[in-house]
Chain A
Amino acid sequence: MNAIFNDLWGFISTADNWRGSNGIAARAQAHLWISFVATVIATAIAFPPALILAHLGKAPVLSVGIANIGRALPSFAVIALVLPISISLGFGLGFWPTCVALVALGIPPIFTNTYTGVANTPAALREAARGIGMTSPQVVMKVEVPHAMNVILTGFRISAVQIVATASLGALVGYQCLGSYVIEGLAQPTRARDRLLTGAVLIAAMAMIVDFLINRVEGHLTGWRSRLR
C-alpha cells in the first residue's frame, strides 16, 4: 500500500512531469476540453427536443427507447466505428472520433431526465400557468424547466461525469489526455506503475470534482425543494 502511494506521489510531485506537451497539465487540460466540448454538444442535441416533446406530451416511448439504447451502447465500439469515417472525412484520429463517442454517451441521460422531469409537471401547475396567460414557451421556461430543474441537472451531471471518465478512451486513438497515462502504464505494468496509478487517480479525481461542482449548482438552483414539507 505504502509503495503504491509512494509511486503515485513520486510521479505527481515531480515538477517535470507536469510540464511539456505530454505533461500532466497539458493532458488534464486536453481531457477537460474534450469533455467540455462533448458535454456542450450532447446538451445541445438532447435538451431542446426532450423539452419540446415532453411539453407536448409526445413520444413517451421514444424517450424510454433512447435511454435503453444509451445504456447498451459501448463507447469503445462507437470510437471504433467512427474512426474510419472520421479519417475518410479528413477529421483524422484522436479528438473527433473520441468526441463523437462521448456525445453519444452523454445524450441519453440528458434526454431522458429532461423528458421525464418536464413530462411529470403536475397538471395543475400547467393549468395555472396557462390560465394566468403564459404562452407555451413561457410555460416551458418559467414553470416546467424550473420545476424539473433538479431532475434535469441530475441527468446533466450523470452525462458530464460519464463523459469525463470515458474521455480516457481517447488515448487509444491517439488523443493525448489523462487516459494516456493509463495506456502508457498498461504497456509496461512493472516499470511504469507510477504512470498507471497517476492516470487512474487523476481521472477519478476529475470525475469527482465535476460531480461535486455540478451538485453544488444543483443545490443552489433547487433550494426551494429543501423547504418542501
Chain B
Amino acid sequence: MTSAAAISLDEVSKVFPGSVSPAVNRLTLTIPQGQILALVGPSGCGKTTTLRMINRLEEPTAGQITVLGHDHRSAKPHELRRNIGYVIQQIGLFPHHSVRRNMSAVLELLKWSPDRIEQRINELTDLLGLDPALLDRYPSELSGGQQQRVGVARALAADPPILLMDEPYSAVDPVIRKHLHSELLQVQARVTKTIVIVTHDIDEAITLADQVVVMAEGGTIEQQGTPEELLAHPATEFVREFLGRERGLRRLGLRTVGQILRSPSRSSVPADLEPEDLAPEDLARVTADTPLREALDTILTSGQTRAVVCADGQKIGFITIEHIAEALRP
C-alpha cells in the first residue's frame, strides 16, 4: 500500500489491571489513509481494546500510537475523540434526545451555530439515505437498521477523517446487514474516510475491507493483506482455519462477471459456437455486475455449465464454469 498511514500503532501493549497476560501484546499495525481496514479475530483476542486505545478510551500500557501524524496523546482525549467517529455494537443512541439531536450531538459539543447544524443534518440525512420524517422521533421509535444508520450519522456528523466501528452490524438481521454494507461502501465512495471496522464475520470483512488484519489471542497479528491476498495465500494455519473452508468461493465473491468478460485473454463469445447456440432459451442469465460466486451458483442451479451475460436485456456474451475456474488461477 502506497497511501500514507492515517493511524499507526508501534509496539502497543495493554495489560488490564489485575490480569497477568496482556490483552494486546506489542501490536504494530499501520492503517492506510482513506481505506477500510477490517480487524477480525476470535472473541477476546483484543479487537475492541485495540480500537478503544486508538481513541484513548483505553490508555496503552506501552508503545506509541500516531493518529494523522501526531502522537495521539498530544491532544486532550475528548478533543481527539471529536475528530474520530466511533460506532459501537450497541449503537448507544441517547434515548432522551430526538434523532436530530443525536445526530447533532458532536456538533453541539463543537459549538456549531444552529443554522450550520441544520444544514449538516440535511447533508447527513441525504448521505445515509435516512427518511427526514425520522428526525423528530426518539431512537426507541426506530428499527434496528434505522438506529444503526443514525449511529453512523452521529459518528460522521463533524466529518471526522477517521471512523472506528466496533461490530456495527452484528445486531441487525442478515438482509439489513447486506443493505447496510452496500450503503457503507457508497458512503465511503462519496466521503473517503479511514475506517477501522471490527468484526467476527469474515464475509463482512471481505465485502467491506480494502485491508484485512487477522488477529489471534493476545492481540497479535497473524496476517495483514487485501482480501484477495489473504484468501489466495493464507500465511498461517490459524488464518487458513479462520478464513474457513470456502476460501475459493469467497474469492469468487470478490470479482464480478464483468471483470473477467473484459479481460482480452478470455474471449466472451467462443468462435466454435453457432449463433443459435449463443442464446438458447434454457440458459440462465447473469449480468456484468453479478459476483462470480453468484454466477457460479446460477450456472450450477440451472443444471448447465454456462450462462448468458446480459446487459440492458441484450445478450453480450457467455460465461462458463471454465471461465470461472480460470479466474482463481494465479
Contacts and interface: CB of A to CB of B under 8 A. Distances in A.
A112 B85 CA distance: 35
A131 interface: yes
Contact of A132 (B81, B95, B97): B81
A134 interface: yes
A154 B55 CA distance: 37
A1 interface: no
Contacts of A131: 55, 57, 81, 86, 88, 92
Interface string B64-87: 000000000000001111100010
B78 A134 contact: yes
Nearest to A126: B92
A130 B91 CA distance: 13
Interface string B89-104: 0111111110000000
Interface string A28-55: 0000000000000000000000000000
B106 A133 contact: yes
Given A128-B88, A147-B96, A224-B95, A134 B140 contact: no
19 contacts: A125-B95, A127-B57, A128-B88, A128-B92, A128-B93, A129-B94, A131-B92, A132-B82, A133-B78, A134-B109, A138-B78, A146-B96, A147-B94, A147-B95, A224-B96, A224-B97, A227-B140, A227-B141, A228-B95
Contacts, number: 69
Interface in A110-153: 122, 124-125, 127-135, 138, 143, 146-147, 149
Chain A contact residues, majority secondary structure: helix
A34 to B, nearest CB: 34
Complex A-B, nearest 8 residue pairs according to Cβ-Cβ distance, in ascending order: A128-B92, A133-B82, A124-B90, A131-B86, A133-B81, A124-B92, A133-B78, A146-B96
A218 B86 CA distance: 33
B86 A132 contact: yes
A196 B95 CA distance: 49
B94 A138 contact: no
Interface string B122-152: 0000000000000000101100000000000
A229 interface: yes
B105 interface: yes
Interface of A: 122, 124-125, 127-135, 138, 143, 146-147, 149, 222, 224, 227-229
B14 interface: no
B155 interface: yes
B94 A130 contact: no
A146 B95 CA distance: 10
A132 B106 contact: yes
Contacts of A125: 92, 94-95
Nearest to A128: B92
A229 B141 CA distance: 7
Contacts of A143: 94
B138 A224 contact: yes
Given A131-B86, A147-B96, A149-B96, 13 more contacts: A125-B92, A125-B94, A125-B95, A127-B92, A128-B86, A128-B93, A130-B81, A133-B82, A133-B106, A133-B109, A134-B109, A138-B109, A229-B141
B154 interface: yes
Nearest to B105: A132
Nearest to A143: B94
Contacts of B95: 125, 147, 224, 228
